[in-house]
Structure 1
Amino acid sequence: MKIAVTGATGFVGRSLVPLLAKRAELLLIGRDIARIRMLFPGQAACSYDGLADQAKGFDLLIHLATINSDSDAGEADFEKVNVDLLLEMAEAARRAGVKRFVNISSLHALDANNRSPYASTKRKGAEALLNVEGMETLTLYLPAVHGDGWRGKMAFLNRLPEVFAKPLAVLSGALKPTVEVTTLAEFILNRAATHEDREVALSEGQEHNPVYNFVRRTVDLAFALVVILFFWWALLLIWLAVKLQSPGPGIFAQRRIGQNGTEFTCYKFRTMRLGTVQAATNEVSASAVTKLGHFLRRTKLDELPQVVNILSNEISLIGPRPCLPVQRALIEERRKRGVLRLKPGISGLSQVNGIDMSEPVRLAKHDARYLAMQSLLLDLKIALETILGRGGGDRVRDRR
Structure 2
Amino acid sequence: MRIVVTGASGFIGKQLVPLLKARGCDLLLVGRKREILDNLFPGIATSSYSDFLKLANGFDCILHLAVLNNNQVADWDSFVRINADMPIEVCRKAKAAGIRTFVFISSTHALELNDKTSYAESKRLAVERLATVEGIGRWVLYLPAVVGDQLGGKLAVLNRFPTPFRRAALEVLKAFKPTVHVSQLADTLRNLEPLEGDGIRNMIVTAGQGENVVFSKAKRFVDLAFSLSIVALLWWAMIAIWVAIRLQSPGPGIFRQQRVGRNEEQFTCLKFRTMFASAPNVGTHEVPISAVTPIGHFLRRTKLDELPQVINILRNEMSLVGPRPCLPNQTDMILERRGQGVFAIKPGITGLAQVRGIDMSNPAGLAQCDREYLQLQSLGLDVKIIVETATGAGSGDKIRGSNITP
- TM-score calculated relative to the size of structure 2: 0.92
Unaligned stretches of 5+ residues in structure 2: none
How many percent identity over aligned positions? Answer: 50
Moved more, 331-340 or 365-374: 331-340
Task: Please give the alpha-carbon distance, in whole angstroms, between the structure 1 residues aligned to 2:62 and 2:312.
Answer: 46
Q: How does 1:24-43 map to 2 (within 5 A)?
A: 24-43=25-44
Match among 268, 273, 281 for residue 270 of structure 1:
273
Q: Which amino acid aligns with 2:4?
A: A
Displaced runs of 4 or more, over 4 A = 194-197
Counterpart check, 1:316 vs 2:316? no
| Contact 2:262–2:344 (8 Å) recurs in 1 | yes
Shift of 1:302: 1.1
Please give the secondary structure, in 2, of the residue aligned with 1:179: strand
Moved more, 205-214 or 42-51: 42-51
Quick one: structure 1 residues 227 and 59, their matched pair in 2 at CA, closer, same or farther if it must change by over 3 Å?
same
Task: Please give the alpha-carbon distance, in whole angstroms, between the structure 2 residues aligned to 1:216 and 1:320.
Answer: 15
Which position in structure 2 is the counterpart of 1:288?
291
Task: Please give the alpha-carbon distance, in whole angstroms, between the structure 2 residues aligned to 1:80 and 1:151.
Answer: 23
Counterpart check, 1:246 vs 2:252? no
Which position in structure 2 is the counterpart of 1:16?
16
Counterpart check, 1:231 vs 2:240? no
Quick one: structure 1 residues 131 and 346, their matched pair in 2 at CA, closer, same or farther if it must change by over 3 Å?
farther
Please give the secondary structure, in 2, of the residue aligned with 1:198: strand
Q: Which amino acid aligns with 1:117?
A: S
Shift of 1:81: 0.6
Task: Please give the alpha-carbon distance, in whole angstroms, between the structure 2 residues aligned to 1:88 and 1:81.
Answer: 10
| Contact 1:270–1:302 (8 Å) recurs in 2 | yes
Match among 343, 346, 350 for residue 343 of structure 1:
346
Which position in structure 1 is the counterpart of 2:87?
86
Please give the secondary structure, in 2, of the residue aligned with 1:145: strand
Task: Please give the alpha-carbon distance, in whole angstroms, between the structure 2 residues aligned to 1:47 and 1:332.
Answer: 48
The size of the alignment, in residue pairs, is 399
RMSD: 2.0
Which position in structure 2 is the counterpart of 1:298?
301
Which position in structure 2 is the counterpart of 1:66?
67
Please give the secondary structure, in 1, of the residue aligned with 2:74: coil
Unaligned stretches of 5+ residues in structure 1: none
Task: Please give the alpha-carbon distance, in whole angstroms, between the structure 1 residues aligned to 2:328 and 2:100.
Answer: 38
Task: Please give the alpha-carbon distance, in whole angstroms, between the structure 2 residues aligned to 1:218 and 1:341.
Answer: 19
Quick one: structure 1 residues 392 and 302, their matched pair in 2 at CA, closer, same or farther if it must change by over 3 Å?
farther
- TM-score calculated relative to the size of structure 1: 0.94
Which position in structure 2 is the counterpart of 1:219?
222
Task: Please give the alpha-carbon distance, in whole angstroms, between the structure 1 residues aligned to 2:270 and 2:195.
Answer: 40
| Contact 2:20–2:190 (8 Å) recurs in 1 | yes
Please give the secondary structure, in 2, of the residue aligned with 1:154: helix
Deviations 1:250-297, CA, capped at 9 Å, x for gaps? 211122121122222211112222222222222222222223222222
